Structure 1
Amino acid sequence: MLRKLLSHAVIYGLAAQVPRLAGVAALPLITRYLTPADYGVAGVVTAYISVFSMLQSLGLSVVLVNSYARQPLRYPWVWRQLNGFMSVWSVVYGAVVMLALYFLVPDEADAHRLQIALLSGLPITLFIMTEMQSNIYFQLAQRPLPMALRSFIVGVIGVGVNVYTIAYLKMGYMGWFYSAFTTAVVSFILSGYSIYIRQKLWPIFNFKWWRIKQALRVSLPVVPHSMAIFMLETSDRLVLDVLRVPVQRIGLYNMAASFGSYFMIASLAVSQAASPFYLQYLSLQQDREAAVKVRQLTFALMGLFLFITSVSCLWMREVFIVLIKNEALQQAYPLAIIILMGYNYRPMYLAVFNTLTYREHTNKLWRISGVAGVGNIVLNFILVPIFGYEAAAYTTFAALMYMGYAGFYMKAYKATAMVPYYPIAWLALTVSLLFIVYTLADASLITKSILTAVAGLLTILAVILYRRKLQPQV
């Protein structure tokens, strides 16, 4: 099962995020033509776009997933009605977003306010629902190859536009916005062909209001939760902007946070690939053997995440030297270590999230994400003026750890949990590894090589000993 999960994560989970991951390959080519100010402008605008995109979806992805799993013969009818409703809603919402973005663009990009607002707002208005339906359909149908092909095409185009606009045309931060818009258009065309031509999931504009209200009762409680997650991952840049931290320093922070974002993409890929397995086990009501399988899967993912992030952080200084051809931006690597290690919260959070979502306890999720998101913002407002912009990395790590482990102590989760997950032990291990890799980040290459080899051998041994437990027997 683990092999199948990881293969699906690589094929369609990671492939679905190729447009962003491919940007890593372009870093050596474009960073020499960029400044911290460019990264600052892009980071602030992207943070606002992330929040607006999450609000636009109204949390309806949960309804799409549940209807597919519970109504395999009737889900197309549900999806088409939701698409019709979202198409109407998006026109109004998109106009508001573009207006807001026009005024939220940093002063350093004043000359390009209108272009940035249009390039960033139009995809929210026109494309998001089609993209969401396509991703969910291929994920749940376990059909990775169509998504992989689409994402490969989009990724190649995105890298090409990035390099052309930034390295050749010297457009600076505007290159990212033109690239993002281009890839959104191409992805919409390819997704639209799959959803509308092949699957016949055309929107129904004469939708039934009772169906929409029923869907919103389930989905809207997810919005504060999902918004809090996005705010948790992007609010640091927003707070730095509000606190009038110089855009060059926001750029340095954004460069460091981008490496956390790259790993977040990979973690989302694994989450997408793992969801069908979680649904399979959770559908076996009150089956302790199934609960054990869920825990085994979660622990396996946790070990994999800790290995990858720890080794990556150990070599973070060298990664920056190779990829970032700009000495000013290279100084951000210590912050990248802290932020990246925070994303180890995902496997443990995944176990709680899937359980509560399947049981339709979506109105409880905000208690995890809301506290983490608000706490992160409050701590940033308190600590950044005292300790500087670097404090945002530490508050982000603390908030992500809360996200990963607080859910295990919720009554709604504990009422259905049948096996212990030992969250305190996993939390202590994560914090210890952060301290170790941060301390050894400037160690010699020989020391790092030995540590990496030892960690690799231990991980391989653990996989060999653990894989038999992950074979499905339910």
Structure 2
Amino acid sequence: MSVFKKLFKQTFIYGLATVLPRLLTVILVPLYVKVLLPEEYGIYSTVMAFLILGNVLLSYGMETAFFRFITKNVSQQKIVQSTTLTSLTISSFVFLGITLLFRNNIAEIAEFKSEYVTYGLIILALDALVVLPFAWFRVNEKPTRYAVIKIFNVVINLAFNLFFLLALPKLAETSAYWNSLWFPENKVAYVFIANLIASAVTLLVLLPLYIKIGFGFSKTIWKQMMKYALPVLFAGIAFSINEAFDRILLKYLLPENIAEVQVGLYSACYKLGMFMTLFVMAFRLGIEPFFFNHSKESNAKTTYATITKYFTLFGCLILLGVVVYIDIFKQILIPNSQYWEALKIVPLILLANLFLGIYHNLSVWYKVTDRTKYGAYISAFAAIVTLVLNYILIPYMGYMGSAIATLAAYGSMMVLSYLYGRKYYNVPYDVKKIASYLVLAIVFAAISFYIFNGNIWIGTTLILVFAAIMLYSEKSEFLKIIRK
């Protein structure tokens, strides 16, 4: 099997495991917008934004460090595995114990109910405890097992969401027992409980892998891993700011009487950008181990360049597809028309996430050369862009300011990574072609969305024209890959 076919297969399987959990959040939007008030959906979205930052803090770069060290020295693989597992397990329990003691103080500062904070803290700890098992599946190229367990998590989460929000209210009308479990004034809590149950069940399923890997600790290896991981952690913190702080800042920078409603509108329409996010995440899961495993190949740089070009091509098609058919997607995923006023953010969010995906491809240079501190620098710069632009624009433009800030942040990450990469690990990217595809896709998307107001026939024609140009330009290379 050729390198590209193997990468495609693994990316497809990882994609299923990545797409379905994120797709769950999209599928549940119609349910949430019907059952939850906009301000309640805003509360849920803001808490989940805090959890994104929490997930980064509790994994503290050890997943990426694990990938690096497990392939760096074959003779030390077992101690690397056990050291990583021990480190993440201890830190997770210490975090949970300390934060639960101060949950009321945290709730007061964050302006949330204490029970929401409690649910969030437990979810964070449970998710941190499965970081290493899932990483183990990836590094040992077991994408099917990885996918099955991830999909199982989705099924559990979805089932309990449907039970709590649809079945339980009806059951409450039939008996006193079920009625005692239903609190219609606090529907948001059930969403968090469903997430908590799914996380707990997933950990139980993965516990046998704890036994297989085993606990152990090498202080020397741990120090080396932490030295590698800390820049990744800082980059992750900065990245979480770019990904989630727009909702947090909207909550605290807008007037109190409209803040949570605006967060709800923004978050619901942001979900339409998930089509690009899902593609980027699935690709990243397949490509990250691939970067390390093939870094010593003689044609590694040429391979990286080819992958980046085709990633951009498919990303451009997704951008056009969602923008052109946005009127169809909104009817299916956001059936409540009061949310549609925020649809204007969707093209910006799609493009921003495409830039982010290109950045992930370009980031190979600092990962395989052990210059992870540059990843931290780039993400930190983008985080500053996010914070500054949100702070400046939100009071005047509301959620549109957040969308602009997201685009600027991810765009700056892409450009900076390319410029630094040319200096330290010069990959022969076909910049002219990549830039041409990007510009053409952006122009076509703008024509469809802003000039012809989403006219499906004109938009479809533009997609076909783009696809024809792509196939004509890349025909020979496509045939070479297929024949290998």
Write out aligned runs for 1:132-151 (5 A): 132-151=131-150
CA contact (8 A) 2:234 2:376 kept: yes
1:388 to 398, 403, 415: 398
Deviations along 1:159-210, one digit per CA (max 9) or x if unpaired, are 11122222344553223211211111122122223x224xx11222xx2323
2:13 to 5, 11, 14: 11
Name the aligned partner's letter for residue 164 of structure 1: F
1:174 is aligned to: 189
Q: Check if 1:371 corresponds to 2:353.
A: no
**More helix by percentage:** 2
Structure 1: distance between partners of 2:251 and 2:194: 24
Structure 1: distance between partners of 2:483 and 2:460: 36
Name the aligned partner's letter for residue 51 of structure 2: I
Report SS of the residue matched to 2:285: helix
1:252 to 247, 254, 265: 265
1:273 is aligned to: 286
1:68 to 59, 67, 70: 70
CA contact (8 A) 1:41 1:106 kept: no
Q: Check if 1:128 corresponds to 2:128.
A: yes
**Taking every aligned residue pair, what percent have the same amino acid on both sides?**
20
- Structure 1 range deviating more: 240-249 or 259-268: 259-268
Q: Summarize the Cα distance change of 1:134–1:463 in structure 2 as closer, same or farther, 3 Å threshold.
A: farther
Report SS of the residue matched to 1:346: helix
Deviations along 1:356-397, one digit per CA (max 9) or x if unpaired, are 111110111122111111111111101111222321111111
Aligned residues: 461
| TM-score, structure 2 normalization | 0.86
Deviation at 1:93, TM superposition (A): 2.0
CA contact (8 A) 1:229 1:373 kept: yes
1:241 to 220, 234, 251: 251
Structure 2: distance between partners of 1:442 and 1:89: 51
Deviations along 1:262-313, one digit per CA (max 9) or x if unpaired, are 53233111111123433344223xx4x4312210111011111111122112
Report SS of the residue matched to 2:363: helix
2:79 is aligned to: 77
Report SS of the residue matched to 1:221: helix
Structure 2: distance between partners of 1:22 and 1:5: 25
Deviation at 1:243, TM superposition (A): 0.8
1:301 is aligned to: 311
Deviation at 1:418, TM superposition (A): 4.5
Report SS of the residue matched to 1:88: helix
CA contact (8 A) 2:323 2:454 kept: no
Q: Check if 1:404 corresponds to 2:414.
A: yes
Write out aligned runs for 1:61-460 (5 A): 61-98=63-100, 102=104, 113-129=113-129, 131-168=130-167, 169=169, 172-193=187-208, 195-197=209-211, 200-204=212-216, 207-245=217-255, 246-261=259-274, 263-284=276-297, 287=298, 289-410=299-420, 413-422=422-431, 428-429=439-440, 431-439=442-450, 442-459=453-470
Report SS of the residue matched to 2:399: coil
Structure 1: distance between partners of 2:370 and 2:110: 45
Q: Summarize the Cα distance change of 1:347–1:23 in structure 2 as closer, same or farther, 3 Å threshold.
A: closer
Write out aligned runs for 1:18-57 (5 A): 18-57=20-59
Report SS of the residue matched to 1:368: helix
Deviation at 1:441, TM superposition (A): 6.9
Q: Summarize the Cα distance change of 1:9–1:101 in structure 2 as closer, same or farther, 3 Å threshold.
A: farther
> Unaligned 5+ residue runs, structure 2?
170-183
CA contact (8 A) 2:57 2:233 kept: yes
CA contact (8 A) 1:293 1:470 kept: no
CA contact (8 A) 2:67 2:289 kept: no
Structure 1: distance between partners of 2:61 and 2:261: 34
Report SS of the residue matched to 1:325: coil
Q: Segments of 4+ in structure 1 off by > 6 A? A: 106-109
CA contact (8 A) 1:317 1:442 kept: no
Deviation at 1:50, TM superposition (A): 0.9
- Structure 1 range deviating more: 55-64 or 326-335: 326-335
CA contact (8 A) 2:309 2:429 kept: no
Q: Summarize the Cα distance change of 1:251–1:68 in structure 2 as closer, same or farther, 3 Å threshold.
A: same
| TM-score, structure 1 normalization | 0.88
Structure 1: distance between partners of 2:155 and 2:475: 36
CA contact (8 A) 2:29 2:268 kept: no
Superposition CA RMSD, Å: 2.8
Q: Check if 1:59 corresponds to 2:74.
A: no
Deviation at 1:429, TM superposition (A): 4.8
